Structure 1
Amino acid sequence: MNLDKVISGFFIILAMTLNFGFFYGDIQSIESHSKYELFAAIIINLIATILKLGDKTQLGSVLLATSLVADIQLITAAIIWTVVAYSSTMDSSVMSVVVSLSGGALLANITSVALYVGDTLKSKR
């Protein structure tokens, strides 16, 4: 068993599940989406991105790209939420934008997990 692969896989899958946990719920309901879960998703996504930096393969480049996309979208969602929370009142239209950005990040994370699982199944023992 390769401990590096286990740790990397753990963070890739945890990033996806945390992102899904934030994304799940009514898109316009502020109460359905926790700012702490968004923060946790950002931190775990950044850790997963850092773990992907050392891979010099073609698949590693694609995995890094998907992770960067997820990072950018989640950070943008957090910035929008923060700016609106401190400058005006948070309403359902702003929450829709935040959740939509999280949905894009979720799609990038699903792509990353699918590629990771495909590579794992393809690799020989």
Structure 2
Amino acid sequence: MSLEKVVFGFFIILALTLNFGFVLGQFYYPEHHNTYELLAVILVNLVATVLKFGDRTQTGALLLASSLVADLQLLTAAVVWGYAAQVHAQGVDMTMMATIVSLAAGALLANVVSAVLVIIDTVNLRR
């Protein structure tokens, strides 16, 4: 067992589970979603993205692409939250929260794709 593969798998699964935890709850209630949890999801996803650089296989390219999609959606969700909290007249209302959680749910789907690709790649490994 390689420590590098353990760390890689850890960050893939941590990104997925943190993202799931953020999305869980009534999507339009700001009280059900924590800004620090979104920050943690973004940071862990960025680390997972960095770990995916360097793999020159087709699976590696798909892993990186899915991670970049998740990063883009999560960063957009953070920008929308920041806009809603600082500029939007009504603050973080139900409409804004629904947009934020929808973006995070898209990132969740990208993280699921990434985890499934890692599982498929692991199953296909020959000893």
Q: TM-score, normalised by structure 1?
A: 0.98
Partner residue of 2:23?
23
What letter matches 2:47 in structure 1? I
What letter matches 2:60 in structure 1? G
Aligned CA-pair RMSD: 0.6
- Could you tell me which of 87, 111, 114 is aligned with 1:112? 114
Partner residue of 2:101?
99
Distance in 1 (CA, whole Å) between partners of 2:43 and 2:101 is 17
Offset of residue 2 of structure 1:
1.4
What letter matches 1:93 in structure 2? T
> What residue ranges of structure 2 are gaps of 5+ in the alignment?
none
Partner residue of 2:34?
34
What letter matches 1:47 in structure 2? V
Offset of residue 121 of structure 1:
1.1
Q: Secondary structure at the match of 1:38?
A: helix
What letter matches 1:103 in structure 2? A
What letter matches 1:106 in structure 2? L
Q: Which aligned pairs between 1:1-125 and structure 2 lie closer than 5 A?
A: 1-88=1-88, 89-125=91-127
Offset of residue 4 of structure 1:
1.2
Q: Which runs of 4+ in 1 moved over 4 A?
A: none
Distance in 2 (CA, whole Å) between partners of 1:52 and 1:15 is 13
Q: Secondary structure at the match of 1:55?
A: coil
Offset of residue 101 of structure 1:
0.2
Offset of residue 3 of structure 1:
1.4
Deviations 1:6-59 (A, max 9, x none): 111100010000000000000101000000000000000000000000111110
What letter matches 2:35 in structure 1? K
Q: TM-score, normalised by structure 2?
A: 0.97
Distance in 1 (CA, whole Å) between partners of 2:70 and 2:28 is 21
> What residue ranges of structure 1 are gaps of 5+ in the alignment?
none
Q: How many residues of Structure 1 are paired with residues of Structure 2 in the alignment?
A: 125
